[in-house]
Chain A
Amino acid sequence: MVHALSEIRRVLVPDGILIDLRPLLDRWQVDVVSAREVRKTGRLLDMPPGLEEDAAANQNMLQAEQDGWFKRESEEIFQLSFLWDSASEMEKYFKEEWSEFIGLDDETRQATRSAWALGDADSQVRVKVKMLITRWKKTITSME
């Protein structure tokens, strides 16, 4: 990551801008949603490797700022949605794509399956992912 930031800085023009856009683990909310209603079914579990990745990324960006590589200009948190047509599709996706950094406990799994099975015909499963966006400006150090 530090090497990546060094490389990004190298290829940016003076005063170039780096946009860092990434998810942050925060026990993401799971809902079953339809046009008529939203039913909260639980929260996902944050797994240690994912938490460690978040912490490492935060630390690396902080270090880059302290070393005078980049200056943080603005930052915001927002949420974006992932939607699946069924609870089983969500579970399959988790297993294939997210299993290293999030977990689904039995209570949330069962609540989501039940809410989806008993829900309206247009019911979908939604996970709201917490996102961080930061604008960084390349700075020139006195050594350059």
Chain B
Amino acid sequence: MSMQKDPDRKEIKFLNKFIDLDVAGRHVLEIGCGEGRLTWQYARMPGFTTGIDVDSDALRVATIDRPSDLENKVCFCNARSEQLPFKKETFDIAILAWSF
């Protein structure tokens, strides 16, 4: 099945309008990252990105699809937003995308 989601890249345009991701050293948490569709659009900008999702199949796809230049900048974790496996005050930015 051929489906295009957001071919005009509106999401990333608005994300860039609302937050300056292009700052070295910033740590971003993306909640509900799925297969990484949105992640790949911004992850070159901040220092490091952690994507979480409850769907382990989606995370497997995201890990396989991760561009080689992002291997040291993006990691994924199978976790629920109600129980985040991170220490307090770890992230500068949290992105809650399509997660309700």
Contact = CB atoms under 8 A, between A and B. Distances in A.
A60 B15 CA distance: 22
A83 B3 contact: yes
Nearest to B18: A135
Interface residues of B, number: 36
A1 B6 CA distance: 26
B97 interface: yes
| Chain A interface size, under 10 / 10 to 19 / 20 to 34 / 35 or more | 35 or more
B74 interface: no
A13 B87 CA distance: 10
Interface string A71-92: 0001010111111110001001
Contacts of B40: none
Contact of A7 (B1, B18, B83, B95): B83
B71 interface: no
A8 B94 contact: yes
